[in-house]
């Protein structure tokens, strides 16, 4: 059999979690499936699957091969669509991950508008703040705050941002307004959790002096939207991206405090560390639907910045 058929077979085995189920999907007998898988592993000299009587699991080599197969099969499918339907045809899945606040406030309406123009695109919107390995996540596009460590990926700034400390007018009326970072130790603060780490050391800079304050949080959450909700409730002071709470600030539901200080969750003092970025895997052939959505996304954020 040709390599392309073997790739399709292997992806089907992983999808159906077994050779028998994949064989039924492909119209092949269990004996044929077993023989083809063995031939595939012998060709590359590696074991691709761990098999038991009940299920299969990918080996490390199998994971690499599976990811490559999916990418190649997607690219072939996209090429076939272009040939059969013309270059104007835009269809297929579009998988996007974004932080919950940004995802609901900004990305969701933009994605909905895009899909009205291209109804054959099937969107998958994952509201996830914790994707760390983009290459293994299966996402086409990841929207995230902060700088990019992995140089094998492409990162483009979608919008400048900054960290702000904010609280509701009701909270400040009751507890007073902090005038310097050290005052925060006497306030109720709302802190994020990241991989079970309590982000309660907040970093500031006034002119050339850096300062780290360890606050005593009133509440913790690993969800930025929950932190925003608690701040709106008047529970305490939150350290947020300005983009997440811009509408609340404009409508006076939240008030910023300690303005003029640079703020972050970590020791990085780079201004860009709070910017909103679009991250995707560099590909020689990128499906048209992804290229079009990226252009659409940047255009909409550019329009919002001009308002």
User: In this predicted structure, what is the pLDDT of residue 72?
Assistant: 85
Question: Which tens digit of pLDDT belongs to each residue from 16-55?
Answer: 888 888 999 889 998 999 999 999 999 999 999 988 767 7
Rg of the chain (C-alpha set): 24
Structure letter (DSSP) for residue 268: -
For CATH 3.40.190.10, the residue range(s) in the chain are 92-161+273-306, 163-261
For CATH 1.10.10.10, the residue range(s) in the chain are 3-85
User: In this predicted structure, what is the pLDDT of residue 52?
Assistant: 76
182-203: average pLDDT: 91
In this predicted model, which residue has the larger pLDDT, 138 or 131? 138
Question: Which tens digit of pLDDT belongs to each residue from 145-172?
Answer: 876 555 567 888 899 888 899 999 999 9
Domain 163-261: give its CATH code: 3.40.190.10
213-241: average pLDDT: 94
209-238: average pLDDT: 93
132-156: average pLDDT: 74
In this predicted model, which residue has the larger pLDDT, 274 or 197? 197
236-243: average pLDDT: 93
**What pTM did the predictor assign?**
0.64
> Going by C-beta distance under 8 Å and a sequence separation of 6 or more, which residues neighbour residue 288?
78, 82, 87, 90
Q: Using CA atoms, how far apart are residues 177 and 257, in angstroms rounded to an integer?
A: 7
In this predicted model, which residue has the larger pLDDT, 172 or 270? 172
69-97: average pLDDT: 76
pLDDT at 271 over 90: no
Contact 52, 46 (CB under 8 A): no
57-65: average pLDDT: 90
pLDDT at 272 over 50: no
245-272: average pLDDT: 77
Could you tell me what percent of the chain has a pLDDT over 90? 45
User: How high does pLDDT run on average in the chain?
Assistant: 85
DSSP string, 44-113: HTS--EEE-SS-EEE-HHHHHHHHHHHHHHHHHHHHHHHHHH-TT---EEEEEEE-HHHIIIIIHHHHHH
User: In this predicted structure, what is the pLDDT of residue 145?
Assistant: 83
pLDDT at 56 over 50: yes
CATH of 3-85, one of 1.25.40.20, 1.20.1630.10, 1.10.10.10, 1.20.58.220: 1.10.10.10
In this predicted model, which residue has the larger pLDDT, 90 or 183? 183
User: In this predicted structure, what is the pLDDT of residue 148?
Assistant: 58
Q: Is domain 92-161+273-306 given the CATH code 3.40.50.720 in the classification? A: no
User: In this predicted structure, what is the pLDDT of residue 269?
Assistant: 47
Q: Using CA atoms, how far apart are residues 275 and 301, in angstroms rounded to an integer?
A: 13
pLDDT at 75 over 80: no
């Amino acid at each position: 059999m040709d390599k392309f058929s073997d790739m399709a077979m292997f992806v089907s085995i992983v999808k159906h979690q077994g050779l028998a189920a994949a064989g039924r999907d492909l119209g092949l007998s269990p004996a044929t499936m077993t023989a083809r898988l063995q031939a595939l592993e012998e060709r590359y000299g590696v074991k691709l699957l761990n098999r038991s009587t009940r299920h299969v699991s990918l080996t490390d080599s199998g994971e690499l091969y599976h990811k490559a197969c999916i990418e190649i099969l997607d690219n072939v499918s996209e090429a076939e669509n272009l040939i059969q339907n013309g270059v104007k045809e835009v269809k297929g899945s579009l998988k996007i991950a974004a932080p919950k606040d940004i995802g609901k406030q900004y990305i969701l309406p933009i994605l909905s508008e895009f899909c009205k123009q291209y109804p054959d695109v099937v969107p998958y919107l994952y509201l996830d703040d914790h994707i760390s390995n983009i290459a293994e996540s299966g996402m086409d596009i990841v929207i995230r705050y902060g700088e990019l460590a992995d140089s094998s990926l492409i990162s483009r700034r979608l919008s400048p941002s900054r960290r702000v400390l904010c609280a509701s007018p009701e909270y400040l009326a009751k507890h007073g307004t902090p005038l310097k970072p050290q005052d925060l130790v006497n306030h109720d603060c709302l802190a994020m959790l990241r991989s079970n780490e309590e982000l309660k050391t907040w970093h500031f800079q006034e002119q050339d002096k850096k300062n780290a304050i360890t606050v005593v949080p009133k509440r913790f959450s690993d969800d930025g939207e929950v932190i925003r909700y608690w701040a709106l409730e008047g529970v305490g002071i939150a350290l947020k991206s300005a983009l997440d709470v811009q509408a609340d600030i404009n409508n006076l539901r939240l008030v910023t405090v300690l303005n003029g200080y640079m703020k972050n969750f970590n020791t990085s003092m780079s201004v860009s560390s709070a910017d909103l970025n679009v991250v995707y895997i560099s590909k020689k052939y990128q499906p048209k639907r992804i290229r079009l959505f990226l252009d659409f996304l940047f255009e909409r954020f550019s329009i919002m910045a001009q308002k």
